[in-house]
A and B are shown apart, each in its own frame.
Chain A
C-alpha cells in the first residue's frame, strides 16, 4: 500500500547509491510495447453526448417508474393478517442507542463464561454488583429489560373471549440464540445451581433462571431477553414480541372481528416522556408494508423522464442544425 509513501525523500539518496554502484548507461532501455504499458488497452468508452444521454434519461425513466409501481403495488397488496402475523411492542423516546447504555453489557458473561459470571466486566458499572454479589446478567441493558406482559384475546361473535395463541420462540436472531448467547454450565439444566452466588439485576422481579419454565428458553437464552439485548438503532423503536402462526389455510391468522389486549403494566415510561405501543404486522418478500421505496422510485423515474423531455425539446430546437460538429470525445 504505502510502498511509495516517502519516496520523495529517497530520491537523492537512491540516485546516489545507484551512481556508486557504477551502473553503466550503455544497455538499451527500450520499453516493452504492450497494450497496458502504452495505455492502449482495449476499452469500452461510454460517451456523454446529447445523443447518448437523451436515451439514457428515457430508459432510466422507463425502468424506474415500473419498478416503483411494482414496489408500491406489492407493498399495498400485502394482505395483512392472512399469513403469519408478528406482534411487536414499541417504545419511543427511549435511548437504547446511548453510548453509555450500549456499552453497558458483558458479552463474555452472556456467552456463558464462568469467570465473567462471577466477575463481570467493568463496563457494566454501575450495574455490576448488588449487595457485593455480581449481577447476572450485568449492565444497564439487561437491567432495563422490558417486562410488560401482553395478552391478546379474540372476542367471539357470541361474546366469549378466547386467547390468541402467541408463540414466544423463534423471535430472536439465529446466530444470537445459538452462538452469542449461552448459559453458563453448558448442558447443566439446573440453572438455579449454575447462577448460585450471583444477584439478579436490581430492577428485575425474578432472577434470570426463572424467566421461563422451558429450559430451552431460560436463563441467558431466553428469547425475550435476547431480543431486548440487541439494542435499537433509534430512540423510537419496536421489538418483536410474539409470533402468531397461521394454522389453517382456509381462515386468516387473525380473523376480522374485535380483539382485547390485556397489558400487565410493569414498565415505567412516563418519567422520560416515553410511550408504549403494540403493533401487529405481516410481511412479504420485500419486507413489511412500506410505500417509501415505491414512491421514491416513481419520483426519480418521473423526474428523469421530465428532464429527458426538456432536453429533447432543447436538442430538437437547436441541436440539429450542426450535427456535423460533434464535440470531440
Chain B
C-alpha cells in the first residue's frame, strides 16, 4: 500500500483527537467561506441515523447474555449451573438450568421484541423523506442521509428531522410556531425566531445563496440551552456576526405548526441531536425494601455456606469408619478411591452448595419484579387520581419505588403550582401609594360599581395621572406574553379569561404575566399584539399606541426580574423593569419606596404574590452602549450566561419606582387537607419556595402547615444581621430542646393541641451560610445544630430558595444520621433537581411545563392526589412487598431445611430428598402464583379507613415489617415447620418407635414407602402447609385468591398424579391434609396468640396494659417455677 495514503489515513483518524474543540463550525449549504476566513478544519459528524436500539442481529445473543449475567442474581445461578455441569452433583443440571434458561429466555425474548420495535421505529424514522436544498432546487432525501450543513425545507405539521438553525420562514416576521409535545410533553405552541439577517430569504434559490458559517458549541443534552454565532459573509466584507440562542434552534422531534414552511440549516445530526442525548436513562434509585432484601440475601448466603460446611465436615467425620464409608454392599470404584483428598473435599462442598442452593431462588427476583411492574398499573388505573380537567391520571415512570411510597418520612414540596393552583388572578396594583382594584374578581363578583376601577385613595393629581399611565404602560410592555388570536388553542396554557368579546388569548410561560396583562386590560390598557417588532397597546381612549421593542432582558430566577427596552413613537427610549421587591428596591433611586414597600408587605402577608415595577429613560447614546454590552455578551460562546448576567446587572440600575402589583395564587383543592393528613401520618412537611417569606408564610398558614398555636422560629437574614448566626442557632435549639425533653412518647404520637409545636422559617441566604463548612476554631457544626432544630419542628418553610438549594436541603436531610426516606414534589423546572435528589420524586403535571413530570418517578395531576398515593397505594405496596419477601424466604427455608436434615440420615451422601421435578417446579409453579396474586391484591385494611385515619401510616414507618425481629420470626417459623415436616414423616416411617408400619394400602394395591415416597410425602405436606399459611395470612379474599390458592393446590395434586404416578388414595390425601392442617395451625399459634393478645391490650389504657404485662410475666414465672 502506498505509504502516503496510509499516513493520510492515520492523520485522518487521529485528527479527531487533535482537533477536538469546544465548538464546531458549520458551512451553510457546504459552501466554503471566501478566503481570509479561518482555516477550514474538517470535522467529521455522524450521519443522521437515530439508533435507539441496543442490539443488532449479530450481537444480540452475546450482548444480551452479557447484559443479563451482569446482574448478580443471574450470575449466581449461572455459577450454580456450571458447577452442576462440571462436577458430579446430586441434582441434575436441569433443575437449576431450566428455571435459569426460562428466565433468561423470556427476558431475552422480551428485550429482543422491544429492540425489534425500536429497530422498526428507527427505520421508519431514518427512512422518512426530507426535503433539502441542493443547487437551488428542492431534493427529496432519506432522513438518515442528512448531513451537517444541509439546508432543509420543513412544511407544516412535519417533524424536524434533526437539530436545525432557523433561517427563514414563510411568515413575514420570521417566526414560526412549534409544538414540542413529543419532547417534553408541552403541547402549547412556542414561537421561534429566524436569524435576523437571513429571514428575508424566502425561496429555495435565495436560501441557497446564503454564504454564512455557524459556530456553535458541541452538542449537549440540555434542551433549553444553546449558544452559537452566525457569521454572514457578504460581498467580501468583514462577516457580520449575530448571536444564536435557543430561540433559533429547532429541535429534532418537535413539530412545525401554523407556519407554511421554513428553511433551516442542519447543525446536529443523528445521535448528537438533543433528543438523542436525552435518551440516557436517569440514575437508578433503590428502595429501602430492596436494600433490606439484599441484606437478607447475604444472611441466607451465609446460612447456605454454613450448611454446606457443616455437612462437609460431618461427612468426613462419619466416613472415618471404613465400614460406613464402604460397606460390603456399596463399594467405591477404583477411580473414586484414588481421587485426591482435597479435590474430594472441594467437590463435596460444592455438591452440598448445589443441593441447598434453592434457598435463594431465581423466582424471587422474577416475582418481585413482576409484582412491582404489574402492581404499578393500579396507580395508573386509579380513578381517584384522574383529573378530568387535565384529562390525565397518574403516571408511573419507574415501578421500582412503589413500596417506598409507604415509607416516606420527609415531604419536600414546592409552593407555586404545587400547593397553589398557579392560576393567577390580578388583585390590585399600587401606584405611588394609590391603590387600584379591577372591577371583577375571577369568579365574577363585582366589588365596586364604578366603571373600570376603584380608587381608594384620593384621586391623584396631574403628575400622578402621568405616573399612573406610565405604570399601566409598563405592565403592558414589560412581559413576554404572546397573543393567540384563535379561540381553539389546544393544551393547557390558556389565558385566564378570553374576557368577553375579544377573541384573543394571552399565552405565556409565566402565569403571573398573563394575570398582569389581563388585569391591565380590565384597567383599560389592552395589549394587542407584537407586530413587526412593535408592541401595540390600546389605551383608555381607544387609541393604539405603538412601541418598538428594542431589547428583552429576559427573566431568570437568580436575578428575579426582567426588563424590556422600548422606543416610543416619540423616539424616547424607556427601560421597564419588573421583579421581586428584593431585587427592585435596591436599584431604585427615586420613588415613594416606603409607601410601596408598606403596601407590598401588607399584600405579602395576605398571601398575594407581589411584583414591583420601575423604569428609567435612556438617552440615545446610553441606549447604544447598552446595546453593545448586551450584544458582546450574547456573542460569547463561553460563559454566555454569566456575561449576560453581568451586563444586565449594569443596565438595570438607577431605576425610578413606579409601583407594585399583587396577584393571588389560590390554594389547590384540598391542599390543606392533604398536608394535614400527611402530618398526621407522621411525615414532616417542608415547603421549599422561591417566594418571599411573608407570602410563603401566609400560604403555609392557609394550607394549615402552620397552625395558630404553632410557635414560629425564624432563621432569616434579618435576625442574623442582629445576632451572629452562631447565637441564633444556639438560641433556637435551646428553645426547641427545652420542650422536647418534657415530651413523652405517647404525646408525640398524636397531634395534641396543648403541646406547642414549632415551625421553622429559614431563607436561602441563611441556609447557605448554615451549610457552609464552618471555619476551624468555631465551636460545633452549624449543620448538626440546624438538623437538630429541624428534627423537632413539625413544619419547616424555606423561602427564597434557588433550585440548587432545594436539592441541597433534600440531600442534607437524606444524609443526616437517621437516613430518613424523602419525597420531593414539584411542578416546575426549578424542582427537577430536588425531584432527582430525593428518594422518591413526584412531579405535578402543572402549568409550568412537563419537565418535572418527565424527570419524576411518579407524576400526578394535583397535589391532593399525593394523599391517596402515599396513604393508600404506598401503604398497600409496602405491606404487599414485605410479605412477599418474607414469605419467599420462609417457603424456601421450609423447602430446603428438610433436605439438610435428611443428610444426617443418608450418610451425608448428598442424596436429595425430593424428586428432580419437584425441586425444579416448587418455586416456579407450585407455590409461585398464590404469593404473586397476594402481593398484587392484598388489602389488610380497607382503603377508606386508610384514607380516613392517616395515623395508620405510622404503623409501617421505618421499614417496620422488614425488621430483623420479623425476619428472624419468619426464618424460625420456616425452620420449625421444616423440622415438623421432616420428623412428622420420619415418625410415621420409623418402626422402632411405633409398633406399626408406614404402609398404606387399599384392597388390591400395595404401596411401599421408598425414599422417593418419603420425599414426596414431605414435599406434599410442604406444599399444602406453605399454601395454607398464605391462605391464613390473606385478609382480602376475592374470587381471584380462592381461584389461585385452591387452584394451585389442585394443580399440584393433578401434576403429581400424572408425573409421579402417586395414586391419590383417600388415605394418603387424608394424611397429607391432616398433617398440613396440624402444622399450619400450630405454626400460626404464636402469631395468633400474639395478635389477639395485642388486640386486647390495645383496647386497654396504659395503666391497664402495664398491669396485664406484669400479671402475665408473674404467671409465667410461677408456671416455670412449678
Interface of A toward B, CB cutoff 8 Å? 1-17, 19-26, 28-33, 37-50, 53-54, 56-57, 60, 64, 67, 75, 78, 86, 88, 90, 92, 94-102, 104, 125-127, 140, 143-144, 170-175, 203, 227, 230-240, 268, 271-273, 279, 281, 283, 285-293, 296-297, 300, 303-304, 307, 311, 314-315, 318-319, 321-323, 325, 327-329
Q: Tell me whether B59 is interfacial, beta carbon within 8 Å.
A: no
A-B contact pairs, 8 of them (CB 8 A): A1-B106, A2-B106, A6-B67, A19-B253, A31-B383, A31-B393, A287-B996, A329-B940
Q: Which residues of A contact B111 (CB under 8 A)?
A: 6, 10
CB distance from B356 to the nearest CB of A (A): 15
Residue among B54, B187, B987, B1000 making CB contact with A13, cutoff 8 Å = B54
B281–A13 CB distance below 8 A: yes
A144–B107 CB distance below 8 A: no
Q: Which residues of A contact B331 (CB under 8 A)?
A: 126-127, 140
Number of residues on chain B facing chain A (CB within 8 A): 145
CB distance from B77 to the nearest CB of A (A): 12
A31–B1013 CB distance below 8 A: no
Nearest residue, chain A, Cβ from B377? A37
Q: Which residues of A contact B939 (CB under 8 A)?
A: 39, 43, 45
Nearest residue, chain A, Cβ from B324? A272
Q: Which residues of A contact B67 (CB under 8 A)?
A: 6, 9
Contacts known (A17-B118, A236-B991); A327 close to B1098, Cβ less than 8 A: yes
B369–A5 CB distance below 8 A: yes
Q: Quick one: CB contact mask for B331-360 with A, threshold 8 Å, 1 for yes?
A: 111100000000000000000000000000
Distance in angstroms between the alpha carbons of A236 and B750 in the assembled complex: 64
Distance in angstroms between the alpha carbons of A238 and B1116 in the assembled complex: 45
Q: Tell me whether B998 is interfacial, beta carbon within 8 Å.
A: yes
A31–B392 CB distance below 8 A: no
Q: Quick one: CB contact mask for B1044-1086 with A, threshold 8 Å, 1 for yes?
A: 0000000000000000010000110011001100100110010
B374–A43 CB distance below 8 A: no
A292–B988 CB distance below 8 A: yes
Q: Which residues of B contact A30 (CB under 8 A)?
A: 386, 388, 391, 393
Q: Which of B327, B328, B1035, B1038 has the most CB of A within 10 A?
A: B327
B1036–A240 CB distance below 8 A: no
Residue among A39, A90, A304 making CB contact with B378, cutoff 8 Å = A39
B369–A7 CB distance below 8 A: yes
CB distance from A259 to the nearest CB of B (A): 17
Nearest residue, chain B, Cβ from A6? B107
A233–B1010 CB distance below 8 A: yes
B1015–A144 CB distance below 8 A: no
B1038–A42 CB distance below 8 A: yes
Nearest first, the 7 closest Cβ-Cβ pairs linking A and B are A12-B281, A288-B996, A233-B1014, A4-B373, A144-B329, A289-B996, A233-B1011
Q: Which residues of B contact A237 (CB under 8 A)?
A: 989
B1078–A325 CB distance below 8 A: no
Q: Which residues of A contact B118 (CB under 8 A)?
A: 13, 17
B1104–A238 CB distance below 8 A: no
Residue among B52, B181, B924 making CB contact with A17, cutoff 8 Å = B52
Q: Tell me whether B949 is interfacial, beta carbon within 8 Å.
A: yes
Residue among A24, A48, A325 making CB contact with B182, cutoff 8 Å = A24
Q: Which residues of B contact A39 (CB under 8 A)?
A: 378, 876, 937, 939, 943
Q: List CB contacts (< 8 Å) of B930-958 with chain A.
A: 937, 939-943, 945, 949, 952
B1035–A240 CB distance below 8 A: no
Q: Which residues of A contact B57 (CB under 8 A)?
A: none
Q: Which residues of B contact A17 (CB under 8 A)?
A: 52, 117-118, 121
5 new A-B contacts at CB < 8 Å, known A283-B1001, A287-B1067, A290-B988 = A6-B110, A9-B67, A238-B997, A315-B1096, A318-B1100
Q: Which residues of A contact B398 (CB under 8 A)?
A: 8, 11
A235–B905 CB distance below 8 A: yes
Q: Which residues of A contact B1104 (CB under 8 A)?
A: 318
Q: Which residues of A contact B50 (CB under 8 A)?
A: 20
Q: List CB contacts (< 8 Å) of B1007-1036 with chain A.
A: 1007-1015, 1035-1036
Residue among A8, A19, A293 making CB contact with B183, cutoff 8 Å = A19
CB distance from A190 to the nearest CB of B (A): 30
Q: Tell me whether B990 is interfacial, beta carbon within 8 Å.
A: yes
Q: Tell me whether B910 is interfacial, beta carbon within 8 Å.
A: yes
Contacts known (A4-B373, A33-B383, A95-B906); A238 close to B991, Cβ less than 8 A: yes
CB distance from B541 to the nearest CB of A (A): 43
Q: Tell me whether B224 is interfacial, beta carbon within 8 Å.
A: no
Q: Which residues of A contact B255 (CB under 8 A)?
A: 22
B1038–A43 CB distance below 8 A: yes
Distance in angstroms between the alpha carbons of A234 and B907 in the assembled complex: 10
Residue among B54, B989, B1006, B1041 making CB contact with A233, cutoff 8 Å = B989
Q: Which residues of A contact B1010 (CB under 8 A)?
A: 230-233
Q: Which residues of A contact B996 (CB under 8 A)?
A: 75, 78, 281, 283, 287-290
Q: Which residues of A contact B941 (CB under 8 A)?
A: 328-329
Q: Which residues of B contact A11 (CB under 8 A)?
A: 281, 397-398
A314–B1108 CB distance below 8 A: yes
CB distance from B294 to the nearest CB of A (A): 15
A5–B381 CB distance below 8 A: no
Distance in angstroms between the alpha carbons of A230 and B370 in the assembled complex: 42
A323–B911 CB distance below 8 A: no
Q: Quick one: CB contact mask for B858-881 with A, threshold 8 Å, 1 for yes?
A: 000000000000000000100000
Q: Which residues of A contact B333 (CB under 8 A)?
A: 125-126
Q: Which residues of A contact B68 (CB under 8 A)?
A: 6
A236–B280 CB distance below 8 A: no
Q: Which residues of B contact A143 (CB under 8 A)?
A: 329
B1011–A288 CB distance below 8 A: no
CB distance from A103 to the nearest CB of B (A): 9
CB distance from B1081 to the nearest CB of A (A): 6
Q: Which residues of B contact A235 (CB under 8 A)?
A: 905-907
Q: Which residues of B contact A234 (CB under 8 A)?
A: 905, 986, 989-990, 1011, 1014
Q: Which residues of B contact A281 (CB under 8 A)?
A: 995-997
CB distance from B778 to the nearest CB of A (A): 45
Distance in angstroms between the alpha carbons of A78 and B945 in the assembled complex: 57
Q: Tell me whether B490 is interfacial, beta carbon within 8 Å.
A: yes
Contacts known (A20-B275, A39-B378, A99-B910); A2 close to B994, Cβ less than 8 A: no
CB distance from A228 to the nearest CB of B (A): 10
Distance in angstroms between the alpha carbons of A237 and B905 in the assembled complex: 12
